[in-house]
A and B are shown apart, each in its own frame.
Chain A
Amino acid sequence: MRKAGAKVVKAKTKRALNVLITYCILIVVAFVFFFPCLWLILASFSKSGSIYSFDGFFPKEYGFDAFKSLFTDTVMYNYPRWFLNTLFIAVMSCVLGTLLTILTAYCMSRFRFRSRKAMMKATLVLGMFPSFMGTIAVYLIMTQFGLINQQWGLILIYSAQAPMGYMVQKGFFDTIPYSIDEAARIDGASNFTVFVKFILPLSKPMLVYTALTSFTWPWSDFILPKMLLIDKDLYTVAVGLMSLGETEFARFAAGSIFIAIPIIVLYFCLVKYMINGMSAGAVKE
């Protein structure tokens, strides 16, 4: 009797310990991920901009100076302009890129044509090339087309290169049963109608995932804009922020917060789609 009781107590303490350890780890993890963000947020509220006037992680004095100068002192660093540039480029590339990627993935999933397998292998192999090595060539091509120092040039590149990453979307389309297509086609629908009326509504999670990834890429890319945009007024935020030094740390932090917030909000609203999208590309069962 007593023995059994001791066993129950032992099991209970074991479980309690288990819970305790779990929560300890979770707290550590949360701290590790949250602290750098908190540090940046605090830094953006520091009164003096330089990183050398900090007490360790914490600014000596707090104020809104960094935000004020970010939006008003635009002679050297025209942040509002950069922000609008980035927004324009990212939105346009997102719309075009998503369209092209979804179309490619759908065709690769549903049609059986002669060069299909070859194209699939080719895209996989081409994806292995260190991408920016081609940027020298892209730069030369853009000069040939007269698209240097123009935002449309960037949009063209981003959306034209987007279909290369169609594999995740194809994986998703593969999981939509064929019987839907067949039923619709018996009713006399063309493949175009099937795609627009039946497949697209079913693939909303994938559309959201694709749109999100093709938005964040131009939003945070720095190699291409740095290479193709010359005028300071045409800069994207990534290029602009990179030109800020350690003495402008508060301004860097404030600018980072504004560029990060839209993405963070998007991610939190769409996290369900993200999980579905990511695992759809991987799981094939």
Chain B
Amino acid sequence: MKIKNYFKSLPARIKGVPKKLSARLAGAKEILTQGNGKVCASMAVMGLGQLIYRQWVKGFMFLFIQLAFIAYFIFTGATDLFGFFTLGTRESNAWYGVEGDNSVVMLITGILAIFIIVFYAVVYVANVKDAYRLQCAEDTLKAPDGFKKEAAALLDKSFHKTALALPVIGVCVFSILPIVFMILIAFTNYGGDVVPPALVDWVGFKNFGKILSLGQFAPTFFKIFGWNMIWAVLATALNYFAGLGLALLLNKKCVKGKAIWRAFPILAYAIPGFITLLGFKFMFSYGGPINYYIQQGGGAAVGFLGLDAKWTARFIGLAVNAWISVPSTMLLATGILSNINTDLYEAARVDGASAWKQFVKITLPYVLFATTPVLISQFIGNFNNFGIFYFLRGGLYVDGYFLASDTDLLINWLYNMSIDNNYYSIGAAISLVIFIITSVISLAVYVLSPSYKQEETFR
């Protein structure tokens, strides 16, 4: 039903887009036609209009930003931007002592230059708008806000601008820039023999074609993708229901000393993941304790995580993953269960509903409703669960797979290819594919989930 409604409202929303756009354009048109000479002065030289209006501090700030930008653009910005498109033209030649262009660095600085230009454009528009606001204030004979008042607003009305400035810059440089870089790498031939000092070039969609058609990559991709989906579904379901079951068990009235029983899973939860994983690897290794007991019992040592241990390794991975993640689901479910209205159970008991029926009709729907967002993020987390098989079976390559083992998830394959074996561009293309799969799933569920739609209703 909900999906239907979402798609029903889609045409209306798309129709709304031009309206919104035209409203914005009308605003720009108004400034262009109604703006007086001082506004034009601000358009030509940032801050000039403000200076004419005797808004000294703000005017000089705008002016300074423009001068700084021009200096940046002349000294490095222009070449950076140019380098983004060419990715370097001068090949290095050690023989003649020529230091060539480093294409990859040029790509990064090029993206950075684009970011800075966009930022400058935003400030420029703000500058023109501000000048126009001053003009309007003058026309209505109202004294414009002084600098002090505007600065005070940064802690009040526009507190969000102050507070969000640092996080946004940080996220742009350390999260968005790397992601943009990675996306762009997928469209180059970076990797293999083509690493700096060799020059990298744009190749369009060739890498995606290679993944789907080339004998080297395609079979491995589809095999790993299939196992990856199975793994994500199994692991998420196992963790979710085991955690919920554990929480329900500890919630039972007859259980005494709940805090003590709960302490054991929390202990497991608190241990850093890499220690757990390395510990379990030791436990199942050839010389490890499990094999010791097998040998004591007269059997031969089993390579649980060895080369041809496809399914045992997979099951060990599932179990170890559950060991690590069930406690957190248990804690989450405990918190949610304590919020359920107990009257519901009272009423159910009066009506003679069995314990199982109470679980299916009251507990499960409530918990599922409350944890949909968490469930999505757990699914994504399991889909991209890098640590498990990196630690348990890292660095193993199995026949029939290209640079991967039969337990590796796409993310592990990605790591093997790009970090260990220099297939950067193919790796980037695969991560784009992973991204498309996961984001389509989660965005759809998120948009349809009640917690997004009813954001305002709980106020």
Closest to B272 in A: A220
| A210 CB to nearest B CB, Å | 13
A75 contacts chain B at the CB level, 8 A cutoff: no
Please tell me if A133 contacts chain B, counting CB pairs below 8 Å. Answer: yes
- Interface set, chain A 166-223, CB cutoff 8 A to B: 167, 171, 174-175, 177-178, 190-192, 195, 216, 219-220, 222-223
Please encode chain A, from 131 to 155, with 1 for each CB lying within 8 Å of some chain B CB and 0 for all others: 0111111101101100000000000
Contacts of A160 in B (CB 8 A): 170-171, 173-175
Question: Would you list which residues of chain B between 276 and 313 have a CB under 8 Å from chain A?
Answer: 276, 278-280, 282-283, 285, 287-289, 292-293, 296
How far apart are B444's CB and chain A's nearest CB, in angstroms? 12
Whether, in the assembled complex, B459 has its beta carbon less than 8 Å from a beta carbon of chain A, the answer is yes
A235 to chain B, nearest CB (A): 13
Q: Does A260 contact B (CB under 8 A)?
A: yes
Asked whether any CB of chain B lies closer than 8 Å to the CB of A45, the reply is no
Which of B173, B255, B371, B443 sits near A141, CB closer than 8 Å?
B173
- Among B279, B283, B428, the most chain A Cβ lie within 10 Å of the Cβ of B279
The answer to the question of A118 belonging to the interface, with a C-beta cut-off of 8 Å to chain B, is: no
| Contact status B435-A137, CB under 8 Å | no
> If the complex has contacts A37-B271, A177-B459, A220-B272, are A107 and B439 also in contact, measured as CB distance less than 8 A?
no
Q: Which A residue's beta carbon lies closest to that of B438?
A: A128
Could you tell me the distance in whole angstroms from the C-beta of B77 to the nearest C-beta in chain A?
15
Q: How far apart are the CA atoms of A259 and B156 in the complex, in Å? A: 43
Question: Closest Cβ of chain A: how far from B268's Cβ, in Å?
Answer: 4
CB-CB under 8 A from A30, the residues of chain B are 261, 264
A276 vs B339: C-alpha distance when bound (angstroms): 11
B residues 436-452 in Cβ contact with A at 8 Å: 438-439, 442-443, 446, 450-451
Of B66-74, B125-133, B330-338, the segment with at least 4 beta carbons within 8 Å of chain A is B330-338
A91 at the interface (CB under 8 A from B): no
Does B229 sit within 8 A of A, measured CB to CB?
no
Q: Is B12 an interface residue (CB 8 A)?
A: no
Known contacts A30-B264, A246-B285, A268-B263; A137 and B171 CB within 8 A of each other? no
Any chain A CB within 8 A of the CB of B85?
A: no
A164 touching B175 by the CB < 8 A rule? yes
Q: Which of A1-9, A77-85, A277-285 is found at the contact surface with chain B?
A: A277-285
Residue-wise, chain A 17-32 has the 8 Å CB interface mask toward B (1 for contact) of: 0110011011001101
Q: How far is the CB of A33 from chain B (nearest CB, A)?
A: 4
B148 sits at the interface (CB 8 A): no
Asked if B14 is at the interface of the complex by the 8 Å CB criterion, the answer is no
Q: How far is the CA of A55 from the CA of B293 in the complex (A)?
A: 9
Q: Mark B248-272, 1 if CB is under 8 A from A, else 0.
A: 0110101100000111111111111
Q: Is the CB of A190 within 8 A of B152?
A: yes
**Given A134-B178, A144-B108, A241-B275; A19-B254 close (CB under 8 Å):** yes
Whether, in the assembled complex, A11 has its beta carbon less than 8 Å from a beta carbon of chain B, the answer is: no
Q: How many A-B residue pairs have CB under 8 A?
A: 269
**Complex CA distance for A279 and B331, rounded to whole angstroms:** 9
With contact pairs A29-B264, A103-B164, A128-B380 given, residues A279 and B282 touching in the complex (Cβ less than 8 Å): no
Given known pairs A22-B255, A278-B332, the reply for A56 and B289 (CB within 8 Å) is yes
B50 to chain A, nearest CB (A): 23
In the bound complex, do residue B179 and residue A129 qualify as a contact, i.e. CB atoms below 8 Å apart?
yes
Residues of chain B lying within 8 A (CB to CB) of residue A40:
275, 279
A156 part of interface (Cβ distance < 8 Å)? yes
Chain B residues near A280 (CB, 8 Å)?
335
Assess whether B246 is in contact with A29, with CB atoms less than 8 Å apart: yes
A280 to B338, CA, bound (A): 12
Interface string of A104-127 (1 = CB under 8 A from B): 101100110100000001011110
Check B270–A104 contact: CB distance below 8 A: no
Q: Which of B156, B280, B380, B442 has the most CB of A within 10 A?
A: B156
* Complex alpha-carbon distance, A186 and B160, angstroms: 19
* Bound Cα distance A15, B328 (Å): 30
Query: Known interface pairs A133-B414, A133-B418, A141-B173. Does A37 touch B268 (Cβ–Cβ under 8 Å)?
Result: yes
Interface size of B by CB at 8 A reads 99
Give Cα A132–Cα B431 distance, bound, in whole angstroms: 10
CB distance B156 to A278 under 8 Å?
no
Contacts of A278 in B (CB 8 A): 328, 331-332, 335
Q: Is the Cβ of B289 less than 8 Å from the Cβ of A57?
A: yes
8 Å CB interface, B149-168 against A: 152, 155-157, 159-160, 163-164, 166-167
Q: Report how far A267 CA is from B451 CA in the complex, Å.
A: 28
Name the contact of A128 in the complex, choosing from B163, B439, B459 (C-beta under 8 A). Answer: B439
Chain B residues whose C-beta falls within 8 Å of the C-beta of A177 in the assembled complex: 459
CB-defined contacts of B338 to chain A, threshold 8 Å: 275, 279
Query: B389 to chain A: closest CB distance in Å?
Result: 14
Contact check: which of A26, A36, A106, A256 meets B283 at CB < 8 Å? A36
CA distance A23 to B256 in the complex (A): 10
The residue from B285, B336, B411 contacting A282, defined by CB atoms under 8 A apart: B336
Q: A157 near B: Cβ within 8 Å?
A: yes
Q: A238 at interface (Cβ–Cβ under 8 A)?
A: yes
- The answer to whether B431 and A129 touch across the interface, beta carbons within 8 angstroms, is yes
Contact B104 A36 (CB under 8 A): no
With a cutoff of 8 Å between Cβ atoms, the chain B residues found around residue A285 in the complex are 339, 370, 458
- Closest residue of chain B to A259, judged by CB? B272
Chain A residue at minimum C-beta to C-beta distance from B332? A278
Asked whether B182 lies within 8 Å of A134 as measured between CB atoms, the reply is yes
> A264 CA to B164 CA in the complex, in Å?
33
Determine the distance from Cα of A279 to Cα of B374 in the docked complex, in whole angstroms: 10
Judge whether B272 and A192 touch: CB under 8 Å: no
With A26-B255, A55-B292: A161-B177 Cβ-Cβ less than 8 Å: no
CA distance A263 to B182 in the complex (A): 34
- Chain B residues with CB under 8 Å of A104's CB are 163-164, 167
CB neighbours (8 Å) of B157 from chain A are 191
Select from chain A the residue with minimum beta-carbon distance to B288.
A51
User: Quick check: B278 and A242 within 8 Å, CB to CB?
Assistant: yes
CA distance A186 to B86 in the complex (A): 58
User: Contacts A22-B254, A129-B182, A190-B156 given; 17 further ones with Cβ under 8 A?
Assistant: A29-B261, A30-B261, A36-B268, A56-B289, A125-B443, A126-B175, A129-B431, A130-B411, A133-B427, A134-B175, A136-B419, A137-B108, A141-B174, A246-B282, A256-B275, A275-B338, A278-B328
- A–B pairs, 10, beta carbons within 8 Å: A15-B254, A36-B268, A37-B271, A56-B292, A134-B175, A141-B173, A141-B177, A141-B178, A216-B272, A283-B370
